[in-house]
Amino acid sequence: MRIVYRMFAVAALLLSLPVISAAKTDYPAEAIHIIVPWPAGGGTDNIARAFAASLESTVGANVVVDNIVGAGGVTGTLQAARAKSDGYTLLLQGSSDISTVMVFQTPPFTLDDFDFLCAFYSTPTWIVAHKDRGWTDLKSFLDAADKNPGKLTMASATPAGAQLLMVAAVHGYTGGKFRIVPYQGGGPFRKGMLSNEVDAGVVHSPVMLPEVKEGMMRVLAVGSPLDKINYEPLRGTKTLKEMGIPFTVGITRGILLPKNTPPAIRAKLLEACKKAASSPAFAEFGTKFGFNPIWMEGPDFRGLLDEEVKTYREIKEKFVDTQKP
């Protein structure tokens, strides 16, 4: 009887092994969480929720967006860096949001703490002004500033970010005689622009796009081409480079994973993300939000971040750090 019992026990153990192995490799077996280190309702959050909805159907699991905010995006980004490398925690973040943190702060993480998976949405940073100001482009604003030294203002949507660097670059490269006014975020910036508190301002598009379409606001210049925008009248807007200012700025949103995520899981996520980015549902979101989706592989996304950090650091050292307190 003991021999028979042992045979059954061994057989049961052998039969269970493939089941256990399959369970470990059957990814995803539970909900996937996307950390967005910014408040709900913002641009990155809107993009994340639209992308998560499309990703659910391509990855075969529920996808949940978690807004983990604080310290200018550092809190959520750090939590993602410290998460298990099992494919169940993703970070959706904007390129210039990460790169400016590396430039303006010393965060408790580096780019090497992540596996860069892909990027799928890119929007330029632009300079806008209220129609009542009368500026038709950046040159008309700068000409007016030259005639009225120190009286005109250009706002930045953030006190330490890509938008501030763009204002500083315009100010420094052109010798502009305007004052720089930093706001504490997109909400206060938008309110200030609509109430005519400042003469012009810099913010990531598509903020103010509805007001541009209504004719209330004008786009004076952009940090990178507007060829992906769905509002055709803006596609010919001049970039900073076309106006003689050697600086490119925008924001590209993509997915980062905790370092050392298993290759098989990365491959499955990459395939699912690529399908989600090209899905009709996400394309429809892009049409409504203002820009067509893009596609960028992980190594190119990481390369973009490396280049931004280098360029942004140079701009900060040249035009921000040299300003008198």
- Residue 25: its pLDDT value, please? 58
Interatomic CA distance for residues 245 and 59, integer angstroms: 43
- Residue 325: its pLDDT value, please? 56
pLDDT tens readout for residues 275-313:
999 999 999 999 999 999 999 999 999 999 999 999 999
- Residue 241: its pLDDT value, please? 96
The percent of residues above 90 in pLDDT, for the chain, comes to: 85
pLDDT for 168 beyond 90: yes
- Residue 324: its pLDDT value, please? 60
Closest CA to 168 of 242, 101, 91, 100: 100
Interatomic CA distance for residues 177 and 154, integer angstroms: 10
pLDDT for 8 beyond 80: no
Q: Where are the domains of the chain?
A: 30-123+250-314, 124-249
Asked if the bond preceding 28 is cis, omega within 30° of 0, the reply is: yes
- Where does residue 66 rank: exposed (0-12), middle (13-18), buried (19+ CB within 10 A)? middle
Interatomic CA distance for residues 232 and 246, integer angstroms: 25
Interatomic CA distance for residues 162 and 158, integer angstroms: 8
pLDDT for 17 beyond 50: no
Q: Pick the residue with more confidence: 39 or 86?
A: 86
What topology does CATH give the domain 124-249? D-Maltodextrin-Binding Protein; domain 2 (3.40.190)
CATH superfamily of 30-123+250-314: Bordetella uptake gene, domain 1 (3.40.190.150)
